[in-house]
Amino acid sequence: MYKILVSDPISPEGLKSLTDHKDFEVVTNTELSESELIEKIADFEGLIVRSQTQVTADVIAAAPNLKVIARAGVGVDNIDIDAATKHGVIVINAPDGNTISATEHSMAMILSMARNVPQAHKSLKEGKWDRKTYRGTELYNKVLGVVGAGRIGLGVAKRAQSFGMKILAFDPYLSEDKAKELNVIRATVDEIAEQADFVTVHTPLTPKTKGIVGEAFFAKAKPTLQIINVARGGIIDEEALLNALNEDRIQAAALDVFETEPATESPLVKHDKVVVTPHLGASTVEAQEKVAVSVANEIVDIFENGNVLNAINAPRMTYNEINEELKPYIELSKLTGEVGIQLLEKAPRELHIKYEGDLALDDTSLITRTLVSGVLRQDLGERVNLINALVLLNEQGVSYNIEKNTKHRGFSNYIELTLINKDTQIKIGATVLNGYGPRIVRINDYPVDFKPEQHQLVINHTDKPGIVGRTGQILGEFDINIASMHLGRTNLGGNALMVLSIDHPVNQDVIDALFQIEGFNNVRSVELDIPQDTNYNI
């Protein structure tokens, strides 16, 4: 008998696969404080929560029998994922249960904003008959910019098309063929900023998407722009949005999510030009039942069959359970994927993975999944793990192939990743050197030799005297310290590559200043997730 604790209000109908199952005992207690939860959790193998319960490291540490934490919803901000992974606890969610609800709420926000429904409602309730003040805007023949063309973003696009709207869509994995099939136009974020009458954002919140709609976006926007966010707080820079509204650089906004929630004190909540709701995107009877059904069914599947479909982390394999020779290559593959995707200007359509040397004789499936996870997490965020990496790669329409060769080419083991988007490609060669750890030894045609660090600059330039000194001078002016420098070139006076490890990340001002150096062709900042320990969680 498996004991499952439900600590937040969950649809009883959605939990029937658990409550009706002879092998599961379901206990519902939605009034537990953290200390009370710590006291009770030791007896349970499973925990189901929504957003109310805070599943802290202390809670997880007090649960020696806990195998699964299930979030009946999408966001897992209230769960300490690292602590769960460390203790071997699987964290699952229901990523698709709220798709329709979030899509429909997005349309509700667009329409409410365009027609001033909340403001007119409030005015009439106060006894005013004011038709002039609340004159609205038609959606027909307007341009809707969709930033993030996943299930919800494309669902909004489809419904907006029924209103006669033209769709501009940005998503790094949206192909030209897919765009034509959906009758949408692929666009950059800048093109959306310049052309859209309405904008809706539907990306995960990652370092790449945080503030993707910010000051530069609003500087290009039409003064009639109306923008909504029913995805994640932080995708729209709230300070930049507030300034754009106050300065009449855009017309209106509608927000369901905020950087800090509850957001009752936010100036945007009180702003006359902003329609707001308290994170209601998934708050429908149907969505709550769907997410409950999803996590309940998966809990049964995990305990009875060992199947895991929607893990946020992945089942833990201890460091000692991994083949000793493969251990350093797991981390190397993650870093290789992270470096490669940040050097490619567009999302890849193909991945070629090559293993050479003794490594080619081993089972490299774990290394492949780790490498693909490193590539995808830049755009898809933390929902990518070793279980779903290859599935998500396929969902994005990216093909991959693996080549193995036992011959040695200068290294006892060698990994090479090639990311391709039409006529653009990036090739990263990597190995592990005894005593030196992970090394990147090739970028495209340039032989290099550097240890991947947290903050790096990769610069393509013409090989000429003075460039290195000028680079150091400019970084010094911005108080950026250089930890190490590595140079590669194809021939004297030809094209060259400079890789700098630096102590702090750089902003666009630094990159712009570096571009003023004569002979610089490309400057890219690379930020890596460098692990703090040697545990490999898979």
**pLDDT tens-digit map of 457-501:** 999 999 888 999 999 999 999 999 999 999 988 778 788 999 999
- Encoding tokens for residue 146? 């969709």
Q: Are residues 256 and 169 in the same domain?
A: yes
Give the pLDDT of residue 344.
94
With bands split at pLDDT 50, 70 and 90, how would you rate the model's confidence at 323?
low
Lowest mean pLDDT among 178-187, 307-316, 330-339: 307-316
For position 408, which CATH number holds?
3.30.1330.90
Residue 351 inside a domain? The answer is: yes
Q: What is the span of the domain harbouring residue 369?
A: 323-444
Per-residue pLDDT averaged across 373-377, rounded?
Answer: 93
Say whether pLDDT at 279 is over 60.
Answer: yes
Q: What is the pLDDT of residues 301-322, one digit of tens each?
A: 999 887 777 888 865 444 455 6
Q: Determine, yes or no, domain membership for 311.
A: no
pLDDT confidence band for 190 (50 / 70 / 90): very high
- Of the listed ranges 16-30, 316-330, 438-452, the least confidently predicted one is 316-330
Task: Output the pLDDT for position 315.
Answer: 53
- The DSSP bridge pattern shows strands 520-527 and 455-462 to be antiparallel
| Whether residue 477 sits in one domain with residue 416 | no
- Residue 455: give its domain's CATH number: 3.30.70.260
What CA–CA distance (Å, rounded) separates 181 from 349? 17
**80 and 227 share a domain?**
no
Domain total for the chain? 4
Average pLDDT (337-350) is 94
Residue 130 is assigned to a structural domain of this protein: yes
226, part of any domain:
yes
Judgement on whether residues 111 and 215 belong to the same structural domain of the protein: yes
With contact defined as beta carbons under 8 Å apart, do 166 and 142 qualify?
Answer: yes
Are 25 and 166 members of one domain? Answer: no
Q: Which of 261, 304, 325, 477 is catalytic?
A: 261
Looking at the predicted structure, is the pLDDT value of residue 221 above 90? Answer: yes
Looking at the fold, whether 111 and 242 belong to one and the same domain comes out as yes
Task: Tell me what pLDDT residue 306 has.
Answer: 78
Same domain, 219 and 90: no
Q: Quick check: 351 and 393 in contact, CB under 8 A?
A: yes
- Indicate whether 261 belongs to any domain: yes
HEC string for 344-370: CCCCCCEEEEEEEEHHHHCCCHHHHHH
274 SS3 class? strand
How high is the mean pLDDT of the chain? 91
Q: φ, ψ for residue 502 (rounded to 5)?
A: -125, 165
Distances (CA, A) of 287 to 105, 213, 280, 292, 315: 12, 28, 11, 9, 27
Q: How confident is the model at residue 533 (pLDDT cuts 50, 70, 90)?
A: very low
What pLDDT shows up at residue 535? 41
The CA distance from 77 to 224, in Å, is 35
Q: How confident is the model at residue 534 (pLDDT cuts 50, 70, 90)?
A: very low
Which of 21, 232, 439, 461 is catalytic? The answer is 232
Residue 412 inside a domain? The answer is yes
Instruction: Tell me, yes or no, whether 348 and 300 share the same domain.
Output: no
- pLDDT, position 538: 36
- Dist. CA 474–CA 485, nearest whole Å: 15
pLDDT at 321: 54
Q: Are residues 427 and 471 in the same domain?
A: no
Question: Between 315 and 447, whose confidence is greater?
Answer: 447
What the block records as the tokens of 354 is 């090559």
Residue 312 belongs to a domain: no
- Looking at 279, 352, 442, 489, which residue is catalytic? 279
Distance of CA 440 to the CA centre of its chain: 25
What is the C-alpha end-to-end distance of the chain, expressed in Å? 27
Which pLDDT score is estimated for 358?
85
Together in a domain, 199 and 270: yes
In a domain, 318, yes or no: no
Residue 286: what pLDDT? Answer: 93
| Cβ(421)–Cβ(349) below 8 Å | yes
Is 352 known to be catalytic?
no
pLDDT in tens, 49-103: 988 899 999 999 999 999 999 999 887 889 998 888 778 799 999 988 889 999 9
Coil/strand/helix, residue 192: helix
Indicate if 222 and 355 belong to the same structural domain. Answer: no
Considering the domain architecture, whether residues 151 and 121 belong to the same structural domain is answered as: yes
Return the CATH number at 32: 3.40.50.720
Q: Is the pLDDT of residue 532 over 60?
A: no
Q: Averaged over 516-520, what is the pLDDT?
A: 90
- Is 382 designated active site? no
What pLDDT score does 264 carry? 95
User: Which of 444, 464, 486 is the last residue before a domain boundary?
Assistant: 444
| Residue 261 a catalytic site member | yes
In this predicted structure, what is the pLDDT of residue 166?
A: 98
CB-CB neighbours of 174 under 10 Å: 23
CB 385 within 8 A of CB 373: yes
CA dist 321 and 311 (Å) reads 20
